[in-house]
């Protein structure tokens, strides 16, 4: 069965194609009786406006891009990305906007991604999990479309003001440190994320500062937010200092890797070594023992980033940054 067209609705309602187009767009200048006839024809025929045609007519795309500069394997294995997409879709609810995902998994792909964004196919972009080394922060300064970062970017003084939403990473890591200090940890360590990500730096310093204020040094190793890197970093830390009695991992996946290493070495988790993660995704309650962790509101981050970019698209006043609060979920690991 052929999909009804604007012309079909116009013939059925006995009005011009232009009048139907105005009613479908929500133009309040159409007389009430005429608008009612058009609306009845739309309902009877099951007409659905063509988004592409509407974009051409208005000169504005109805598409947002979610740009992810991470390897494909991490995108599909880390729950954060799926939850962020769910939040973005929630933010798009009730709009005519659609979402496309753009992957920039290698540094040499950032130029192609920027070219795509410059072609006018999208009304705005949300850049997720960016690194300073991927070039997208600097490139965003040249984009003529509204751009929002999900996660604070590492900015140079020459960069323009950036719009972003983020979790209060520093406060979350401080909660982890305070919990460990309260439970008697005196040889603390952290598995931090990559140094070219603002979240990694904030979580590392937020954890270290309370211990250093108490005269205790924090050992540091780095991972890339994967479970495997957490296991390697934990092994490195324990090889350097077998007396470590508390490890804060900057993500739940890395915390699971830390626990893998502790299990392999028959080190009791929660007794001999406390472990705290950062995310509180579903798997955190299913580890052995269940993982103490900081809540990272990934769905709400995605929703807030979407609201921010839609405000920018519509030219509305848009406060930035939006920083979401955190809380600690205590379980047996820490």
User: Long-range contact list for 152-158, CB < 8 A, 24+ apart?
Assistant: 152/198, 152/199, 152/202, 152/321, 153/127, 153/198, 154/196, 154/197, 154/198, 154/201
Q: What is the pLDDT of residue 57?
A: 45
* Count, residues in the chain: 334
Per residue in 145-191, pLDDT tens?
Answer: 888 999 988 765 545 578 999 999 999 999 999 999 999 999 999 99
Q: Is the pLDDT of residue 130 over 50?
A: yes
CA distance 315 to 165: 18
Per residue in 29-39, pLDDT tens?
Answer: 677 788 888 88
Mean of pLDDT values over 40-52: 71
Which range, of 130-134, 202-206, 252-256, 270-274, averages the lowest pLDDT? 130-134
SS3 content of the chain, % helix, strand, coil (to 5): 45, 15, 35
The three-state secondary structure class of 125 is strand
Per residue in 183-225, pLDDT tens?
Answer: 999 999 999 999 988 999 999 999 999 999 999 999 999 999 9
List Cα–Cα distances, 256 to 40, 100, 285, in angstroms. Answer: 57, 31, 11
CA distance 142 to 177: 40
Helix axes of 32-45 and 6-13: crossing angle, nearest 10 degrees: 120
Nearest of 168, 109, 250, 268 to residue 259 by alpha carbon: 268
CA distance 324 to 295: 10
Higher local confidence (pLDDT), 212 or 128: 212
Mean pLDDT, all residues of the chain: 86
Which domains, from first to last, does the chain contain?
6-49 (1.10.260.40), 63-167+299-324 (3.40.50.2300), 169-296 (3.40.50.2300)
Q: What's the sign of the alpha-carbon dihedral 253, 287, 259, 255? A: positive
For 36, what's the count of Cα atoms within 13 Å in the CB-facing half-sphere? Answer: 3
- H or E segment to which residue 267 belongs: none
Q: Is the pLDDT of residue 254 over 90?
A: yes
The three-state secondary structure class of 287 is coil
Retrieve residue 80's tokens: 């954060």
Q: What is the pLDDT of residue 5?
A: 77
């Amino acid at each position: 069965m052929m999909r009804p067209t604007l012309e079909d609705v116009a013939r059925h309602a006995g009005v011009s194609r232009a009048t139907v187009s105005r009613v479908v767009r929500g133009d309040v200048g159409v007389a009430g009786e005429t608008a009612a006839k058009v609306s009845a024809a739309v309902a009877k025929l099951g007409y659905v406006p063509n988004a592409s045609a509407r974009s051409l007519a208005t000169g504005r795309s109805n598409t947002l891009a979610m740009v992810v500069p991470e390897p494909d394997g991490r995108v599909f294995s880390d729950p954060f990305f799926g939850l962020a997409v769910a939040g973005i879709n929630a933010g798009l609810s009730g709009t005519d906007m659609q979402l496309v995902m753009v992957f920039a998994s290698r540094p040499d792909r950032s130029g192609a991604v920027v070219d795509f964004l410059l072609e006018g196919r999208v009304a705005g972009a949300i850049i997720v999990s960016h690194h300073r080394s991927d070039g997208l922060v600097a490139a965003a300064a040249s984009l003529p479309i509204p751009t929002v970062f999900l996660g604070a970017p590492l900015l140079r003084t020459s960069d323009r003001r950036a719009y972003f939403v983020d979790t209060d990473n520093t406060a979350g890591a401080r909660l982890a440190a305070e919990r460990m200090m309260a439970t008697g940890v005196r040889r603390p360590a952290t598995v931090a994320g990559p140094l070219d990500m603002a979240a990694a730096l904030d979580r590392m310093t937020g954890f270290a500062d309370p211990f250093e204020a108490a005269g205790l040094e924090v050992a540091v190793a780095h991972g890339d937010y994967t479970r495997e890197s957490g296991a390697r970093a934990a092994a490195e830390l324990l090889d350097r200092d077998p007396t470590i009695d508390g490890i804060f991992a900057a993500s739940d996946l890395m915390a699971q890797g830390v626990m893998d290493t502790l299990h392999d070495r028959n080190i009791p988790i929660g007794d001999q070594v406390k472990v705290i993660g950062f995310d509180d995704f579903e798997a955190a309650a299913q580890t052995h023992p269940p993982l103490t962790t900081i809540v990272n509101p990934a769905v709400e981050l995605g929703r807030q980033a979407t609201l921010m970019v839609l405000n920018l698209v519509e030219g509305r006043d848009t406060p930035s940054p939006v920083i979401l609060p955190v809380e600690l979920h205590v379980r047996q690991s820490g």
